[in-house]
Structure 1
């Protein structure tokens, strides 16, 4: 292996694999994932009507507090759908920290800029049951580059 390639591999192992998400949602200290329900499966790459699921779904009850998974910088809110019939859950937030850029869907952020420390509240889980009755309510975690977030959990 060439020295430059080895250096890149070592950096990725120490930076890329070292970041693990802390608790995202009150009531789910282990970040349990959404498995299957009649709406589908919450794993990365799961089949969807229009392609593949580009995130990982972490169980979170409607109205639950959402926490910073590690020290993060907030980079603005986002619209998930921008469709009137899904307005109740049409919010999220962009975050950066630990060398990662990611988004949390279905979260009403308390604020949209600044720094938040691991475990501090960043928002509230939106009422997913009002849009998708019977789904396992969850936060959708999506990497900015749409890579698989699973290794960080």
Structure 2
């Protein structure tokens, strides 16, 4: 009888141990599953966090872009100011595109002043640098006619009817006359001296210069011409003025001295 109780007690202890171990194992399984579930949840929560953080960054970037126009406003004002400042230079473009500079006439100009090429008052004029013209008379340098029995060929030389507002360049009768600068022919010109003698020629103009060339017979009176192109030939003067030096007469349209260009 005692052995029976002893065996029964031993079996109960083993059964209790088995139950305890089974319960612990079940708890372990449950806890492991719960931890895995929590990790999955945490991963699911982390993904939208990343997205939300990137959205926030994008949102901040977008808002930074939205704030940019406010920062650009003064730049627009600066541009407007530049336009206002550049209005004067745009008005002076007729001078600057010729290679000149607008400046007050009290300053020394190494070339010559052109009128009506600059903005502002009349004391502001276009100073053009000296640019030599090509040789006008074929076979000659641009040599000013010296004094002879009929007068002198320099600018402002004394004549019977006043000062000579032109320059006479030495040239042989019937010699070819070349175009001094590129421009356009603007029709025939003529003048008479106090004795009634008529001198014929042609007007040549460009954006920078305007001249009248007398004592020549041009091949044509209108149309574009290029520098160095044959313009016509010199009319003879010896038949009317014995002892005169054959020459062409070069006169600026505004009455200024053409000497710096020849």
Query: Please, what TM-score do these two structures have when normalized by structure 2?
Result: 0.51
From the CA coordinates, give the structure whose radius of gyration is larger.
2
> Could you list the runs of 5+ residues in structure 2 that have no partner in the other structure?
1-88, 90-100, 112-125
Is structure 2 residue 139 aligned with structure 1 residue 27?
Answer: yes
Q: Number of aligned pairs?
A: 144
CA 1:147/1:83 → structure 2, altered by over 3 Å: closer, same or farther? Answer: closer
More strand by share: 1
Deviations 1:122-150 (A, max 9, x none): 11100111111111111110000111111
- Of 43, 49, 57, the residue aligned with 2:154 is 43
Matches within 5 A, 1:42-81: 42-81=153-192
Matches within 5 A, 1:90-129: 90-97=199-206, 99-129=208-238
Q: Once the 2 structures are TM-superposed, how far is the Cα of residue 85 of structure 1 from its aligned partner?
A: 6.4
More helix by share: 2
Q: Once the 2 structures are TM-superposed, how far is the Cα of residue 98 of structure 1 from its aligned partner?
A: 5.5
Cα distance between partner residues in 2 of 1:65 and 1:15: 32
> Could you list the runs of 5+ residues in structure 1 that have no partner in the other structure?
none
RMSD: 2.4
Q: Which has the higher contact order (CA 8 A, sep 6+)?
A: 1
